[in-house]
Structure 1
């Protein structure tokens, strides 16, 4: 899919949403809206990963006055506990990822601009096989779910997708299966903290079946890198078979 990273970086710099390193090193105030989004995101991930209150408490240290999005330190303790339970991405990288997702799913201007960049790769005159990864899977779904052109996508491949996380999924309700997609294949590593949930009837009910492959063993350091998905035999075979049709 077309590259949108530079455009997203522009929005991230303009938004000036401080991450934990900025708050700790510079004394910046947390962005409350992002803090609530982040708390919902990590709480869902930690429940799926089986991180207990006791494990979060061990990372927090003292007894917290409040548990939840209003206590920034509690949210950071969840990130550290989550990293120990599902190691790889690390709290800093995960937080930066969540900021990008937050900007895309909650700021209409950001979503519109990113979608405009990516939608240029689709055309009505030819079928398009789409391979998307991470936040790119969210962008792809946003475009195809709202697209009015008569597009043809014989195969959509989503890799390491966070679409089933409520904080990401709910802004797109009511969910639907984009009519342009003939076949949807979702692959993820169960150790990939961003993609702990399959895109199934329970977690992403779109009215049609999405093929899920949870057997991928992503060999990148954070279990989320696209290279660790694109060297999986089943993923590559799925794409090549679609190209040959």
Structure 2
């Protein structure tokens, strides 16, 4: 806001002189932080996340629309495939490529993909990573699908990813192949009705498969428990028991 115009013709008293920001200890850092706070906060929609403008701008590039070009794109060594309608339908981590390393989650992009379920009248969906963020999976549309949040993405699918971590630590990346595929019930929806997660572990020279198919919908506790029990049995047979 501009300062009020003085009503007196007398010269105003000089303002106290403060040391320049660079001259004060930590002054330049504080100035940069204040500037970043002013320039870096952007509101999305009411009730949605607020995040730095730089991250939001990146999300607009990574989530340019509901669909992506059909075919395979390789990012971080992972092969990400989109179907003929431009919807992500599979992600492959070949043996030797899977790593335990955060990919840098982009909350704006994941929220945006989750809301693609709105057009089908569905609520409570996340933008779920096919190759998880914890495995350096990118937060881009090619690797994100609308995934039910409280039953699938943050519960049973997370349990599968945790089993992958156990196998990865036990047998190493060269022995572990990881694939996730999304099945769509028709050519128009953006929401998979099933997500299939597969892992092959070559332990002691023998391949062992862990193969789970998750309905992409709200699940009862009994359904979640049954899926997790099946997962634990398969992972134990692959030499990655739950501890």
TM-score (norm. length: structure 2):
0.31
- Tell me: higher relative CO, structure 1 or 2? Use CA pairs within 8 A at least 6 residues apart: 1
Report the structure, 1 or 2, having the larger helix content.
1
TM-score (norm. length: structure 1):
0.30
Report the structure, 1 or 2, having the larger strand content.
2
